[in-house]
Amino acid sequence: MTLPFPPADEIARLTARMLLEIEAVHFNAAEPFTYASGLKGPTYIDCRKLISYPRIRSTLMDFLSATVLRDAGFDAFDNIAGGETAGIPFAALVAERLELPMTYVRKKPKGYGRNARIEGAMTEGQRVLLVEDLTTDGGSKLSFVDAIRDTGATCGHTAVIFYYGIFPETTQRLADHGVKLHHLCTWWDVLAEAKAQGFYDEATLSEVESFLTDPRAWQAAHP
């Protein structure tokens, strides 16, 4: 296993550039996106697109694996778990690089058979890394972590490609649950690269920056 270990700021810049190049990033101030919460915003990201771009997918999985090794330790995990559904392909790719077993966690029990939430072999005492595509406020991660811990395994780390980075309570919310977040880039990295590379017009970028600076105030002004 040979992985690149570039500085974190370079990983963030390159990750942002790749997301922009494949149009996984969408900025639209004129017609804001409606999120699952019902609130609106001028930004949207689709990390699932990455699985269709082999070179970019491979590079980002190298980056994610290297980030976890550098920040969590080189012998910190026994099992890599993906969160249903978006985290599953990325967990498989990270597990391959780290030469570790892979499992995945269902959002809820499947309702028949073993009624399991964990698919694959996860055993008591294993140290599990939860892999997902992104995190907004960290909420969905807690349910996955609890399902992992219910097996008797431990889960003190989660790794994502993209972290919104605009809700200050996120890392504390995870930390209060005993989980450390590892990520490659944030909306601020994407905005900086979009400006540097000339993606989008100045008015759109200005509106996006206003949203990122105070998303709650922006949403209140755009019901």
Q: What is the pLDDT along the chain (223 residues), one digit of tens a residue?
A: 667 799 999 999 999 999 999 999 999 988 999 887 677 899 999 999 999 999 999 999 999 999 999 999 999 999 999 999 999 999 999 999 999 999 999 998 876 766 689 999 999 999 999 999 999 887 889 999 999 999 999 999 999 999 999 988 899 999 999 999 999 999 999 999 999 999 999 999 999 999 999 998 998 888 7
pLDDT at 158: 97
CA dist list (Å): 68 to 5, 71, 83: 11, 5, 17
Query: How many angstroms separate the CA atoms of 207 and 130, rounded?
Result: 34
Three-state DSSP at 118 gives strand
pTM: 0.94
Look at strands 79-83 and 127-135 and give their pairing: parallel
Sequence ranges of the binding site for 5-phospho-alpha-D-ribose 1-diphosphate: 106-107, 110, 132-140
Q: What are phi and psi of 163, to 5 degrees?
A: -120, 125
Sequence ranges of the binding site: 106-107, 110, 132-140
Q: With residue 124 as reference, give the H or E element that holds it.
A: none
155 burial type by CB count under 10 A (0-12 exposed, 13-18 middle, 19+ buried): buried
Q: What is the DSSP letter of 49?
A: G
Query: How many angstroms separate the CA atoms of 76 and 96, rounded?
Result: 16
Residue with tokens 């290297």: 66
Query: How many angstroms separate the CA atoms of 144 and 199, rounded?
Result: 35
pLDDT at 2: 67
Which value, in Å, is the radius of gyration of the alpha carbons in the chain? 18
Sequence ranges of the binding site for orotate: 136
Query: How many angstroms separate the CA atoms of 105 and 130, rounded?
Result: 9
pLDDT at 138: 79
Contact criterion met (CB below 8 Å) for 81 and 148: yes
The domains found in the chain, sorted by start residue, are: 8-221 (3.40.50.2020)
Q: With residue 153 as reference, give the H or E element that holds it.
A: none
Contact criterion met (CB below 8 Å) for 1 and 99: yes
pLDDT at 113: 62
Nearest Cα residue to 44 out of 29, 27, 31: 27
pLDDT at 1: 61
Look at strands 40-41 and 118-119 and give their pairing: unpaired
Tokens coding 115: 């009624």
Contact criterion met (CB below 8 Å) for 90 and 138: no
pLDDT at 137: 81
